[in-house]
Amino acid sequence: MGLAARIEKNWYGRAAGNLWLLPLWLIFVVLSTLRRFWYQLIKPQPSAVPVLVIGNIAIGGTGKTPLITCLVRLAEEQGIRVGVVSRGYGGQSDSYPLLVNEATPVAQCGDEPALLASMGIPVAVDPNRARAVEALAGKVDLVLSDDGLQHYKMHRNGEIVVSDVTRGFGNGWLLPVGPLREPVSRLRSCDLHLVNGQDFTIQPVAYMTHQETSAPSTLAGQTVHAVAGIGNPARFFTTLRALGVKVIEHPFPDHHAFADQDLEFNDELPVVMTEKDWVKCRELNHPRIGFLRVSALPTDDVEQKLVRLLNKLRETSNG
């Protein structure tokens, strides 16, 4: 096991194994505290459109992207026009802000923006998220920020923090001793804290290939190569096993840029991946790849809270 893997293992185990990182931890605590204090002192200018941040305080995947698509659906049901802004991690554009559409190369915008844009959602990408928000002003009634909880340069009108029921907040330490970007006390200042696996679940809704769309249950009993370049690959593998799939695991780093050789396993078994990975692999035209489309399903109580928050923000005027 490599050094990085051992450090991450200790994030979700005994912090004692990472205490040798205390000098770096102290630097992180000082810098992050000063940074937040600075933006509390020098508040960013309000944007022309209300902003709701969907982010986390811990490193790793928590199901933010399916939750964002759920929020888009709920907003549309309320007659609220919604757009999404993102840093565009994994992409590199010659100019920003970048308005993303279905034809925008993933190499320019990143995988998550490409996925959201493929669903017809207005998306703007910019490392400076405040600038991306302004690019959507006048086009939408509300902007959702995909991550960016710690991007204090961007004004926000509401915050949703997302965590995972299995990982929680790990050993409770800030980086690099633990997985936290901010202390757990940060939850007190957000509008909602939603736990994936408790307040909402990620449900598979379709299995899709180049050729056809079918029910997820069609995978039951099959042995597949499961490919996942997301923040928490184990969650995807667990979802497949719950469908009765025999899984050969192939985890990759989050936002991995796939190449042909990553999907060659010298057999005829299907290759199943997440939709976020599919947007990077669809041009490869590999004959046996498909993806599992998923949807976030909130509890009735949480759905009501989300609808109330969306309507409250729609009435917000930053002017």
Annotated binding site for ATP: 58-65
Helix (H) or strand (E) holding 314: helix 300-314
In three state form, how does the secondary structure of 146-193 look?
A: ECCCCCCCCCCCEEEEEEECCCCCCCCCECCCCCECCCHHHHHHCCEE
225 alpha-carbon distance from chain centroid: 23
Residues whose CB is less than 8 angstroms from the CB of residue 130 and which lie 6 or more positions away in sequence, other chains included: 44, 45, 47, 153, 154, 155
Do residues 218 and 68 make contact, with C-beta atoms less than 8 angstroms apart? Answer: no
The residues facing 273 across adjacent strands are 227, 291
Indicate the pairing of strand 123-125 with strand 82-86: parallel
31 alpha-carbon distance from chain centroid: 25
Do residues 109 and 101 make contact, with C-beta atoms less than 8 angstroms apart? Answer: no
Separation of first and last alpha carbons in the chain: 53
- Which residues does the annotation place in the binding site? 58-65
| Amino acid, single-letter form, for residue 192 | L
